[in-house]
């Protein structure tokens, strides 16, 4: 079958590195808590982390585990502070910091332009809330190069759950064998995609050991290597 769509994870796939961005954002949250709330920045970020993990335990695999407003709400409530007044401000501080540190991976723009010229749809298939992922794509200069955004918020379940992949296929109007998924998380991106029949490209930029897995997939260590493979399918 001909290639009709390429699905991309966003965080750590189209830009790097979310871990570094996240660490910087926690530093900015701590400074904000001290300046705005008059409390210990370390205590606030610890309460923020505790609530982040609590949500993960309570709602595993569900989109709310990514909502920084909820993280901040729980942290503020835990510290006896006004969550209604400050949770959205903390959310904004966190994401402004993350976005300011993002760097698009080499080769992303060129591949998306090649896909568009070939008539192949490009969709971002990502765990997270839709609005912040749209904002990231705007910041990275990719908004006009992406055909569809498919978030776990919209699908109702995180990867590797099947709903997000089926929704991406529906939006792009293609069958599983006519699509390829590119992502850095082997379980979420590669296993999740191949479980429904979509080709998998593992962007193993951290050089993790190959999992013991019998399914067919392509491994790349840079985005440009992944892009070269995708071009062979055009």
Task: Determine how β-strand 179-183 pairs with β-strand 5-8.
Answer: parallel
Q: Residue 168 corresponds to which tokens in the numbers above? A: 């991406």
Which of 142, 98, 110 minimizes the C-alpha distance to 124?
142
Angle, nearest 10°, between helix axes 68-78 and 41-58? 120
Q: Residue 218 corresponds to which tokens in the numbers above? A: 């392509």
CB 3 within 8 A of CB 72: no
Maximal C-alpha separation, the chain: 61
CB contact set of 115 (below 8 Å; sequence gap of 6+): 6, 121, 122, 230, 234
Clarify whether 11 is annotated catalytic: yes
Residue 173 φ/ψ region, left for φ over 0, alpha for ψ in the -120 to 50 degree band, beta for the rest: left
Which residues carry out catalysis?
9, 11
């Amino acid at each position: 079958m001909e290639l009709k769509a390429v699905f991309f994870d966003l965080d750590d796939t189209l830009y790097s590195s979310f871990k570094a961005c996240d660490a910087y954002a926690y530093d900015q949250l701590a400074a904000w808590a001290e300046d705005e709330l008059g409390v210990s920045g370390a205590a606030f970020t610890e309460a923020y982390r505790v609530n982040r993990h609590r949500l993960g335990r309570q709602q595993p695999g569900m989109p709310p585990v990514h909502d920084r407003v909820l993280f901040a709400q729980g942290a503020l409530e835990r510290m006896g502070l006004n969550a209604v007044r400050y949770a959205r401000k903390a959310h904004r501080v966190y994401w402004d910091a993350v976005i300011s540190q993002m760097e698009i991976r080499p080769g992303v723009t060129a591949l998306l332009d090649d896909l568009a010229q070939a008539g192949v749809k490009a969709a971002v298939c990502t765990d997270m809330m839709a609005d912040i992922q749209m904002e990231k794509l705007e910041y990275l200069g990719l908004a006009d190069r992406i055909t569809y955004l498919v978030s776990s918020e919209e699908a109702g379940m995180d990867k590797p759950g099947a709903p997000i992949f089926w929704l991406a296929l529906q939006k792009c109007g293609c069958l599983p064998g006519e699509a390829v998924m590119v992502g850095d998380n082997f379980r979420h991106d590669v296993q999740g995609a191949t479980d429904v029949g979509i080709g998998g490209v593992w962007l193993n930029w951290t050089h993790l050991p190959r999992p013991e897995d019998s399914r067919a997939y392509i491994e790349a260590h840079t985005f440009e290597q992944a892009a070269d493979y995708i071009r062979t399918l055009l």
